[in-house]
């Protein structure tokens, strides 16, 4: 088994068929597709089972209760059989050559531990990423997340050696992992310039003001930056970004979410 594609779903019936089909229709065929239904109460599980009935590459994990993305993804990694782990989000669409291109890059560049890739936002047509090469990622990662989580393609042995997602993080778990691998363990990673996914951002999500989720994620970003800033060469800008994050947290607590 070469690749394990992992996806966690919570009430994702609106986009799940497109997400599943985008993986099943990949030009690279040697993969397993592990999908966690994280306590959904819509038709997500029913849809997953429909696809699993005719494609045995799909493996289903069902959480009777919602345990969150972090723990769900760790579940998939622990049972995965692939040499490489590829992330897929339920509301994103992977283009047919995504797995093939990312697999070839990691196979040919043994010094790299993981790759992200570029993509477009469905609602706006804008590109997902600003930073691609290792040097600019190392320079800016302490300030902001330079990777799109659903584009990640990583060697499983890296996760086994340096740790999975930190389950103390309900949100921002991906940012902590990238900082840990790149700053603490000095591993190499980059983003491919190829646009290999389409990220669906429904208009209702763009307008959503989820204060609780925002605050948890922002606090976790500050926590991660404080944890790894000593490993970064860009400490001054890192501390400035922490101050800005704290100011934004205070603003939201006092005045609520800003208009989108």
pLDDT greater than 60 at residue 206: no
Q: Mapping DSSP to helix (H, G, I), strand (E, B) and coil, where does residue 109 land?
A: coil
Cβ-contact 193, 115 below 8 angstroms: no
| Four-residue CA torsion sign, 189, 191, 192, 195 | positive
What does the H/E/C string look like for 169-225? CCCCHHHHHHHHHHHHCCCEEEEEEEEEEEECCCHHHHHCCCHHHHHHHHHHHHHHH
CATH number of 3-204: 3.90.550.10
- Tokens of residue 86, six digits: 């590829």
pLDDT tens sequence across 171-181: 999 999 999 99
pLDDT greater than 80 at residue 137: yes
Q: Which secondary structure element, helix H or strand E, spans residue 112, and what is its range?
A: strand 112-121
The CA distance from 65 to 103, in Å, is: 34
Cβ-contact 60, 35 below 8 angstroms: yes
250 alpha carbon, distance to own chain's centre: 27
pLDDT tens sequence across 36-69: 999 999 999 999 999 999 999 999 999 999 999 9
- Tokens of residue 96, six digits: 């047919």
* Band (30; pLDDT cuts 50, 70, 90): very high
User: What pLDDT is attached to residue 207?
Assistant: 44
- Tokens of residue 225, six digits: 């930056």
The CA distance from 165 to 173, in Å, is: 6
Cβ-contact 113, 155 below 8 angstroms: yes
What's 233's DSSP letter? S
The CA distance from 246 to 135, in Å, is: 27
Residue 238's CB is within 10 A of a number of other CB atoms, namely: 20
Q: Report CA-CA distances (Å) from 42 to 54, 64, 71, 229, 257.
A: 22, 13, 21, 41, 28
* Band (202; pLDDT cuts 50, 70, 90): low
What does DSSP say about strands 112-121 and 188-199: parallel, antiparallel, or unpaired? parallel
């Amino acid at each position: 088994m070469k690749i394990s594609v992992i996806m966690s779903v919570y009430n994702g019936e609106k986009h799940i068929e497109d997400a599943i089909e985008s993986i099943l229709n990949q030009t690279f065929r040697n993969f397993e597709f592990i999908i966690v239904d994280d306590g959904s109460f819509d038709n997500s599980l029913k849809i997953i089972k429909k696809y699993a009935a005719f494609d045995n590459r799909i493996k289903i994990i069902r959480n009777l209760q919602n345990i969150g993305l972090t723990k769900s993804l760790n579940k998939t990694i622990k049972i995965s059989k692939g040499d490489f782990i590829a992330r897929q989000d339920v509301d994103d669409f992977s283009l047919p050559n995504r797995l093939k291109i990312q697999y070839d890059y990691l196979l040919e560049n043994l010094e790299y531990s993981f790759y992200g890739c570029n993509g477009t936002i469905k609602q706006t047509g804008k590109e997902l990423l600003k930073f691609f090469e290792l040097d600019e990622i190392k320079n800016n990662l302490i300030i902001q997340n330079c990777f799109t989580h659903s584009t990640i393609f990583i060697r499983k042995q890296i996760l086994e050696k340096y740790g999975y997602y930190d389950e103390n993080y309900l949100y921002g778990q991906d940012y902590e992992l990238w900082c840990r691998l790149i700053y603490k363990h000095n591993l190499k990673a980059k983003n491919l310039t190829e646009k290999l996914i389409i990220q669906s951002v429904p208009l209702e999500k763009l307008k959503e003001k989820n204060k609780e989720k925002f605050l948890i994620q922002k606090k976790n970003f500050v926590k991660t930056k404080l944890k790894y800033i000593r490993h970064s060469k860009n400490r001054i800008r890192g501390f400035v970004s922490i101050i800005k994050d704290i100011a934004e947290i205070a603003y939201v607590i006092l005045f609520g979410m800003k208009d989108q």
